[in-house]
Amino acid sequence: MSGHHNSDNIQHLYEGDQSKLYSGVLSHHTDINSPESKAQVKKIWKVFWILLIITVVEVVIGMFFSHSMPKGLVNFFFLALTILKAGYIVSIFMHLGDEVRSFISTVLIPLVLFVWFIIAFLSDGFFWLRMNNSSPARGDTVKEAPANAKHTNGH
Amino acid sequence: MSHTTVVTSEPKENLWAGGRSPYNLSYGKIMMWAFLLSDALTFGAFLISYGTTRFFSAVWPDPNAVFKSFPFMGHADLPLLFVSLMTFILIMSSVTMVLAVHAGHYNDKKSVAKWLLWTIIGGICFLACQAWEWTHLYGEVGALWGGFTDPATPVEKFHHFFNEHNAGHILATQPGVAMQATHNFFNYFFTITGFHGGHVTSGVVFNILILVNTVNGVYERRGHYEMVEKIGLYWHFVDLVWVFVFTCFYLL
C-alpha cells in the first residue's frame, strides 16, 4: 500500500545492481489518479493541516499566554507540540513510518543520546549559575531562585 | 497424524541472518539517513550549547521583544508573526516536496517537475524572509556576531530586548550581565539560523539540480525517481531542524 513495498518479494533486487531496485519495484505503480494514490495525497495534506494547526496553537500560546501562565507549563506545551510536529514530519513526510522496524530502530536509538546530552548540559548550566559568587541569580532576580538562595547556597 | 501438518506457518523471518538487506532500503537512502543522523547531532550540539549558555545566564532576551517586526509595518509591535510566516513557508515547501516524491513513485515526470518547482520557490521565499530578518536585526537593532561587547555600551542599546518584569532588576543594577546575555543570544541566533539557512540554500541548489535532471528526462530513462526521494529526505530534515530552531529561539 505504501510507497515502500516492504511486503513485496524484492530481495533479489538488493543484490548486485541496485539500479533495478526502484524500476523493478515501482513498475506496478502506473496511475497517479488511482484511488490508492489519491488516498496518499489526501494523507499528506491532512498532515499539512495538522502541522499548521499545531504551529498556530504554539504562536497563540507564545503571543498571548506566555506571560500569564506558569513558565514551566508553557515550556512543557511548547516542547510537547514540537516533538509531535517532529514526529509527523519524520514519520509521514520522511516515510520513516513506512520502513521496516529494524531501520526505524537504527535511526531512532542513537537519538536517545540527546536525552542525556540535554539533562547533563542544561543541569550543568543551571549549577554554574548558582555556583558563581558574582552571579546575580544568587539574589532574587530569577524566579527559580528564591530570595533566600543566597544563604542556602552560601553555606 | 504428524504427517497431516506438512504446511506449517512460515518460520519467523530473521532479518539479520545474512543473505538479505535487513533494511529493505537502497544504499543511497540508508546513507542519506546516516548523514542526516550526523547532521542532527551537529544541530543538536548547537542547540544544546545555546541552552546551556541560556541556563547559566541570569537574564535572557525575550523573543517577543526581539522579534516583533514585520516588513513594511514600521514599528508596529507584532511578536512572532514574521517567524510564523517563515515557518508556514517551510512547512508548505515540505508538503510540495513530499508531493514530488509521491509523483516520482508513479513516474509522473510532469508532476515531479511541477512540485519541485514549487518547493524551490518555497525555499527561496524562506531565504528571502531570513535575509530580511538578518538585515533588519543588523540595520535597525545593531545586532550581528560579536556585538554588544563594549563595556561602555549604554543600557538603552539593549534594554528593550528584555522583559521588564523578569529582567528589570538586573538591567538596573548589573547592565553588564544583560549585555553579556544579549551578546550570547545574538551569537547563537546568527550561528544557528545561519547554519540552518546554509542547509536551506544547499537544499535549493540540490532541488534545482534534480529539477533540471527531471525535465531532461534523466530519471525517466533511469526508470525511477529515487534521487528525488533522497533530496526529499534532506529537505524534510531541514524543515525538521527549523521546527526545533523555532521552538528554541522564538517560543521558549
Identify all chain A residues contacting B60, using CB atoms and an 8 Å cutoff. none
Q: Are residues A43 and A26 both part of a single domain?
A: no
CA–CA gap between residue A31 and residue A22 (Å, rounded): 16
Residue B190 maps to a domain: yes
Q: Is there a domain that residue B53 lies in?
A: yes
Q: What share of chain A is helix, strand, coil (3-state, %, to 5)?
A: 70, 0, 30
CB contact under 8 A, B224 and A118: no
The three-class DSSP label of residue A9 is: coil
Cell of residue B204, nine digits:
535549493
Residues A76 and A14 in one domain: no
* pLDDT tens, residue by residue, A85-136: 999 999 989 988 888 888 899 999 999 999 999 999 988 888 888 776 666 6
Q: What are the φ and ψ backbone dihedral angles of B74, each rounded to 5 degrees? A: 60, -130
Considering the domain architecture, whether residues A81 and A126 belong to the same structural domain is answered as yes
Residues A73 and A146 in one domain: yes
pTM of the complete model: 0.82
List the domain range (segments joined by +) for residue A20. Answer: 1-30
| Optimal mutation site among B243, B248, B252, interface A, most CBs of chain A within 10 A | B243
Residue B4 within any structural domain of the chain: no
pLDDT higher than threshold 50 for residue A146: no
A78 CB within 8 Å of a chain B CB: yes
Kindly determine whether residue A82 and residue B233, on different chains, have CB atoms separated by under 8 Å.
Answer: no
Residue B45: CB partners within 8 Å, gap ≥ 6? A117
- What is the DSSP track for B27-65? HHHHHHHHHHHHHHHHHHHHHHHHHHHHHT-S----HHH
Residue with cell 519524520: A90
A42 plus A115 within the same structural domain: yes
Number of domains in chain A: 2
**Measured on CA atoms in the order A41, A11, A110, B199, is the torsion positive or negative?**
negative
In a domain, B1, yes or no: no
Give the distance between the most distant pair of CA atoms in chain A. Answer: 75
pLDDT tens series, chain B, 252 aa: 445 545 555 556 677 777 767 787 888 889 999 999 999 999 999 999 999 998 888 888 887 777 777 777 666 677 788 888 999 999 999 999 999 999 998 888 999 999 999 999 999 999 999 999 898 888 777 778 877 877 777 777 777 788 777 777 777 777 788 888 888 999 999 999 999 999 999 999 999 999 999 999 998 888 888 899 999 999 999 999 999 999 998 888
Domain that holds residue B105: 27-251
Interface probe with B: pick from A59, A88, A127, A138, most Cβ of B within 10 Å:
A59
For A28, the closest chain B residue by CA position comes to: B106
Confidence category of residue A142, pLDDT binned at 50, 70, 90? very low
Can you give the length of chain B in residues?
252
Query: Which residue, B9, B24, B42, B2, is CA-closest to B245?
Result: B42
Alpha carbon of B21: minimum distance to chain A alpha carbons (Å): 7
In a domain, B83, yes or no: yes
Chain B closest CA to A155's CA: distance in Å?
Answer: 21
Q: What is the pLDDT of residue A12?
A: 58
The domain total for chain B is 1
Q: Does the residue B158 lie in any domain? A: yes
Shared domain for A54 and A130, answered yes or no, is yes
Q: Would you give the distance in Å from CA B158 to the centre of its chain? A: 27
Residue B116 counted as domain residue: yes
Among A residues 19-48, those touching chain B with beta carbons less than 8 Å apart: 19, 21-23, 26, 29-32, 37, 40-41, 44-45, 47-48
- Quick one: A49 and A92 in the same domain? yes
Question: Which pLDDT does position B63 carry in this prediction?
Answer: 79
Query: Which of B58, B102, B244 is the closest to A141 by Cβ?
Result: B58
Q: Is the same domain home to A104 and A134?
A: yes
CATH number at residue B224: 1.20.120.80
Cα B60 to the chain's mean position, in Å?
Answer: 23
Q: Do A82 and B247 touch (CB under 8 A)?
A: yes
Residue B215 CB neighbour total at 10 angstroms: 16
Q: What's the CA gap between A107 and B232, in Å, rounded? A: 17
Alpha-carbon gap, residue B182 to B179, rounded angstroms: 5
In this structure, is residue B11 part of a structural domain?
A: no
CB A127 within 8 A of CB A145: no
A54 plus A123 within the same structural domain: yes
**Segment A24-52, tens digit of pLDDT:** 455 456 677 788 888 889 999 999 999 99
| Nine cell digits for residue B145 | 556576531
CB-based contact B228:B112 (threshold 8 Å): yes
Distance, in angstroms, between B6 CA and closest chain A CA? 23
CB of A149 within 8 Å of any CB in chain B? no
Q: Are residues A61 and A110 in the same domain?
A: yes
CA atoms B242, B80, B85, B124: torsion sign: negative
Backbone phi, psi, residue B141, to 5°: -105, -20
Residues A80 and A9 in one domain: no
| Residue contact B37–A85, C-beta within 8 A | no
- Is residue A76 domain-shared with residue A116, that is, in the same domain? yes
Maximal CA-CA distance, chain B: 96
